[in-house]
Structure 1
Amino acid sequence: MADFFSEEIIINILRRLPVKVLLRCTSVCRSWYILITSPEFISSHLNFAADSKKRTPFLLLRRLVRNSEQYDLYSDNESFARISTFEFPFRSINSCFTIVGCCNGLLCLSDDRVYYMHTVILWNPCIKKSVLLPKPNLIYSSYGSFMQTLGFGFDPIASDYKVIRITYVDCGRGLPLVELYRLSTGVWQDLSFLAFEYVIYNRSRQACVNGATHWIARSTDCYDLIVLFDMCGEVFREMMLPLSLVDNESMRSKDLGVYKESLAVIVWSVSGPQPGFCVWVMNEYGVESSWTKHFSIDLHEFGREYVRPLWIRKQGEIITVWQDGRLIAYDHNGGEVKDLGVHGSRCEDYRRSVHVDGYMKSLVLLEKGSCFSDAVTRIKLPALQTDDCDSSYGSDCEHSSESDYKHGHGSYGGLFVRQ
């Protein structure tokens, strides 16, 4: 084929093909293998898919099914049809991994839900490749108890994937240790000189917008705000919430999200005099006066079965998980409540395991070569078996003491503290 078409034409044809077909094409000949696994082609394929208006949008759904993590891909349209199920090859000492973030087909997973194991993985489920990050500088055996926040994103200028780690010792008092992992270098770099002065809320979900990772945090003056890490400039900045949300009401929770590529805040409460949730959207990025309340939902309409919001779909539907484990989509425009056909357990572990994120198939990590395939599963990771609902923890942990790694759920200024 190369005898009849120029390389430019071949690249233009190949980059239009889906990931599954391209993986097969790597076996056609050596020149195609070199081409398809090159960083330049992987980037070109990713950019073409992102710019294609005909691209089918996907949603990634993670949940616990029979004691195992299940990752399903759904079409983000009216049908909400399941496209495929990804094989999950990793072992966790906890009931499930924490999904730090999802970017360009790459998932960042951390084994820190109850027990800190310093296990952070970058995983592309489409091509079954993964990278196990090295141990960070601050670990329990060196510093004792701590609490941490992770962020994951992409630097489009350097074409590099980065993980930022903010670690607090001494119950959140004093400045934390800040470390940055770059996939291009494979090491953690100390960025503590940035003097990060905020405390990020426990399990604050990140939102990646405009090349930055955002979290809900608490300032030294005790008001809520948004803190962001610019993946390109590698600096922290702050951003104000809508004025009515800067308070720290214990009855209301705040989560960040993305709505039509704009930064959004979901404020929700399942108790109190006005249970329900509302969504604020920053219509113009970085312009604090552009915050607008787009819609609000009264929980009384659901008969108090609703638990928490998970995702804002592009068409405006809010995906929520209910107390009985069902996934329900609420259309704020017409007030329609739709059962998405995903049913689960009433168990708290199950409900906490449910995670929804936007997803785009990609070839990211393919250039790393065969040595990166199953990079984590080849290492014997400790496992502490749990039942989906009522089993107790097993006893096969390879470490000396569970209390060395388990963290509690106390609070310091309304924040998470590892005990």
Structure 2
Amino acid sequence: MSDFLPEGIIINILKRLPVKLLICCMCVSRSWYTLITSPDFISTHLNFALASNEGPPLLLLRRCCIRKIERYELYCDNVSFDRHFTLEFPFRSINPFFTIIGSCNGLLCLSDDRLFYMNTIIIWNPCIKKSVLLPEPNLVYNSYGSFMQSLGFGFDPIAKDYKVVRITYTDFDRRLPQIELYRLSMGVWEDITHLALKYIIHNRSRQAYINGATHWIARYVDGNDLILVFDMCAEVFREMILPGNLAKDDSPRNKELMIYRESLALVSCDVAGVEHDFCVWVMKEYGVVESWTKQFNINFHDFGGGFIKPLWVRKDGELLMVPKDGCLVSCDSNGAQVNNLGLSGTSSEEYLRSVYVDSYMKSVVLLEKGPDFNDAVTFSKLPSLQSDDCGSDGSCGSHYRHSHEVNQSVRQDNRFHA
């Protein structure tokens, strides 16, 4: 019957289908397979999903269980926090767990750089089980020595391309970082160091992708904190001013960027005192500094101190976080009502730092890669530390280890960032 329907009507029907059912429709006929896997239809399906807003939004939750097993699950951002789906995680890591760079249009960007830089960066669509292993960057440990890197991931809506930006600070001169840009359409790293950054992105600064740009907490080389922005379309950097007096706050680890109701949000945490104090600021009008508004302030005096990690600001304004016992909780705007969401964890530092939450939407991006493109290819390409990189006690070579991780005092002070 589909042969008698105009293609426009078929597209209008198929674009409304969920990902799982759409995959099944690929088996109907060769023409449907060609249509569904075409870049134009994938873009149409994605845009329809973005505009429809049907059902509660989804949140991605990652936790690292025993034996370095990473567990990825989707939850509905509703009152009952219902589990929607469990994702199959197919990758292995030399580190305790992967760093999640960001989530965008159904894609996750992962980097195997938690303790040891393995030059492994993956763009992954877990719903269709397809992924891209990025080529090795230009600047790597065995050629340049130790360094610190910051990564950003996002979508260029004009070129309809996904991009990864990599900013690398060497021990020789952190004032002159090397900057590389990867475009999924091209498949290679391009050196864009000529953009000449005068900022240092704080290590482990979580990115926030919104309005076609990636945002990090950064600092002037000889000055105050700010929000550094990389425009995925224009491929240039710009800056934003932090709200209130946070720019002069000398504790960059205590600031975290997130997205709240499609607006840029900043969660700041004061860990200097006896009680943890969280503030959430929201930029009501993107790019307008005067629109920064303090959404709520929470004093967690009932948690008895210790490790408290903010994870996400929910659509109803509640703050998702994980306290030192490892459970997942949600609290209202003044901290008076704290709800245990029924997801238990452990008090181990590795588990607490592995917990990650981000917004997520299902898509068929990467489906155009074809039937033979799957994660099995990635398994055979992932690097691993060779035996000559490890000492007799099994400890790995220091040239792979982050220079900042070797510093014990930094590790002890790193209480807020994951």
TM-score by length of 1: 0.92
Gaps of 5+ in 2: none
- Counterparts of 1:3-402 in structure 2 under 5 Å? 3-67=3-67, 68-170=69-171, 172-250=173-251, 253-304=254-305, 307-332=308-333, 335-374=336-375, 375-382=377-384, 401-402=396-397
Query: Are the structure 2 counterparts of residues 116 and 339 from structure 1 closer, same or farther at C-alpha, using a change threshold of 3 Å?
Result: same
Query: Are the structure 2 counterparts of residues 380 and 113 from structure 1 closer, same or farther at C-alpha, using a change threshold of 3 Å?
Result: closer
Deviation string 1:202-249 (CA, Å, 9 cap, x unpaired) is: 100000111100000010332000000000000000110013101233
In 2, Cα distance between equivalents of 1:245 and 1:331: 23
Query: Are the structure 2 counterparts of residues 396 and 180 from structure 1 closer, same or farther at C-alpha, using a change threshold of 3 Å?
Result: farther
In 2, Cα distance between equivalents of 1:185 and 1:198: 28
2:401 is the alignment partner of 1:406: yes
What is the aligned-residue identity percentage? 60
Per-residue deviation, 1:251: 9.1
Cα RMSD after superposing both structures = 2.2
Query: Are the structure 2 counterparts of residues 171 and 353 from structure 1 closer, same or farther at C-alpha, using a change threshold of 3 Å?
Result: farther
Q: Number of residues paired by the alignment?
A: 403
Aligned to 1:387: none
- Judge conservation of contact 2:297–2:334 (CA < 8 Å) in 1: no
Gaps of 5+ in 1: 385-392
- Given residue 60 of structure 1, which amino acid in structure 2 is its aligned partner? L
Question: Greater shift after overlay, 371-380 or 36-45?
Answer: 371-380
- Given residue 400 of structure 2, which amino acid in structure 1 is its aligned partner? Y
In 2, Cα distance between equivalents of 1:309 and 1:197: 29
- Given residue 170 of structure 1, which amino acid in structure 2 is its aligned partner? D
Per-residue deviation, 1:304: 2.9
Query: Are the structure 2 counterparts of residues 205 and 39 from structure 1 closer, same or farther at C-alpha, using a change threshold of 3 Å?
Result: same
In 2, Cα distance between equivalents of 1:395 and 1:359: 43
> Could you list the runs of 4 or more consecutive aligned residues of structure 1 that deviate by over 4 angstroms after TM superposition?
393-397
- Given residue 244 of structure 2, which amino acid in structure 1 is its aligned partner? L
Greater percentage in helix: 2
Per-residue deviation, 1:76: 1.0
Deviation string 1:258-289 (CA, Å, 9 cap, x unpaired) is: 11111111001344145221001111111111
- Judge conservation of contact 1:100–1:108 (CA < 8 Å) in 2: yes
In 2, Cα distance between equivalents of 1:220 and 1:194: 15
In 2, Cα distance between equivalents of 1:302 and 1:140: 41
Query: Are the structure 2 counterparts of residues 149 and 373 from structure 1 closer, same or farther at C-alpha, using a change threshold of 3 Å?
Result: same
- Judge conservation of contact 1:383–1:396 (CA < 8 Å) in 2: no
Per-residue deviation, 1:290: 1.1
- Judge conservation of contact 1:270–1:306 (CA < 8 Å) in 2: no
Per-residue deviation, 1:395: 8.2
* Secondary structure class of the residue paired with 2:59: strand
- Judge conservation of contact 2:274–2:305 (CA < 8 Å) in 1: no
In 2, Cα distance between equivalents of 1:330 and 1:305: 18
In 2, Cα distance between equivalents of 1:378 and 1:25: 30
